[in-house]
Copies of this chain bind each other. A is one copy, B any other.
Amino acid sequence: MLRAKFKLWLNSRHVEGAFGDGKWRLLKAIDGENSLKVASETLGISYRKAWGDLKKAQEALNVTLVEKQRGGRLGGQTVLTEHGKKWVKAYARFRGDVEKAVDKAYERHIGGLIG
């Protein structure tokens, strides 16, 4: 009947939305596909947006999350760096903890209001 929802993200000094669920999902998809193009298709977002998000995250965090390569018979590829993999795992734990806390807090404080 009522559900608690949340959005979670990180701001850097000058960038709103430096990292968040969308970019996290993007990195995960890239890790599985080794391709920015395929990753964007898997997620159902435009390549244009995926590319922009990736660029934004890297610039804002000042970390190289992926290794990009152009050319060749296969056209190119995009793979996660070690830093990128660390970010995926760290954010997953971060988000997981928050999600649990939201559910618990909901039960504790809101659930009683409507039961």
What's the tally of chain A residues with a CB closer than 8 Å to chain B?
Answer: 34
Q: Which of B4, B18, B97 contacts A109 (CB 8 A)?
A: B97
The complex places the Cα of A29 from the Cα of B61 at a distance, in Å, of: 37
Is B18 a contact of A10 with CB atoms below 8 Å?
no
Main SS at interface, chain A: helix
Give the Cβ gap from A99 to chain B, nearest Cβ, in Å. 10
Cα of A68 to Cα of B94 in the assembled complex, Å: 43
A42 interface residue (CB < 8 Å to B): no
- Hey, which bits of chain A sit against chain B, CB under 8 A? 1-13, 18, 61, 86-87, 90-91, 93-94, 97-98, 101-102, 104-106, 108-110, 112-114
